[in-house]
Amino acid sequence: MSELNGVLPIDKPEGPTSHDAVAMARRALGMRRIGHTGTLDPFASGLLLLCLGPSTRLAEYLTALPKRYTATLRLGVTTDTDDRMGEPLHSSEAWRELSREAVETALRAQVGEILQQPPTYSAKKVEGERMYAAARRGKALEREPVAVTIHSIRLLRYEPPEVDVEVECGSGTYIRAIARDVGADLGVGAHLTQLRRTRIGDHDVEEALTLDQLEDGAAVSAALLTPAKALGHLATAHVTPEEVGLLLNGRAVSATPATPAGLPVALLTDAGELVAVGERDGATIRPRKVFS
């Protein structure tokens, strides 16, 4: 069987790590070249985009896409990981005195371009070491706030001490940090108990396969996104057969006035096949990544 090429949306269950999901896909599909875009914590479920074969080179154009999550916050208890997997640190019954309006106000305060302090137990590297590895050794690393964008937070369910929300945010946002900071703002503490990623860019979890379905060749073929479709969020330019030859040799092709500058452009054949991803340089588009 020829090597699969494209992006496969997977619905990761709670429990396995993102790396575990990739390993399962490698065994089920019988191929080694598989990568993912956007790690999910083991306790989280939801959409994971697997890049197969040559499409592993597309990952950089997918990782920065906006994300959507549903999450459950538990008010009144903080943990050392800011989620249910950690050890409890403090508890308070003051959540009983909160109003729905107060919680909604605290949620709204998280929306926008904000500085967010990463959780102590996170995969972010500080001084060349993963923060969770340092935390497990008892070493305290200085956590510098990181600029993130939170587009919206919608309250879905209010049954204190539990609160369900839907979050739309930019890449690099920690949803458990939102829970932590909302709890701190309210003065009662909070942590995340459930997390599910439902969307990455234009890709929805409803279109994803379960890990069990990876053994079903027909289901995989139906769900597999072509490279061009996976990059449907990029600006596009169609190229002639002659220009395809130029691109395959690393040479630039002509840009049009509509071609954006400073952004990646997907260069497609008239049949809609991805030839390259390039970037405008004056009157031309120079290929950055070329696909045979």
CA angle 39, 191, 183 (to 5 degrees): 125
- HSE, CB side, 13 Å, CA atoms: give it for residue 58: 32
Residue type, position 107, single letter = L
Q: Are strands 67-75 and 190-200 parallel, antiparallel or unpaired?
A: antiparallel
Separation of alpha carbons 118 and 187, rounded Å: 20
Single out the residue of 166, 218, 219, 168 nearest to residue 9, CA to CA.
Answer: 219
* Active-site choice (11, 41, 83, 181): 41
CA angle 197, 200, 205 (to 5 degrees): 55
CB-neighbour burial class of residue 62 (10 A; exposed 0-12, middle 13-18, buried 19+): buried
Matching residue, tokens 């497990």: 136
CB count within 10 Å of CB 125 equals: 12
DSSP run (H or E) holding 20 = helix 18-29
41 included as an active-site residue: yes
Separation of alpha carbons 162 and 64, rounded Å: 30
Residues acting as catalytic residues: 41
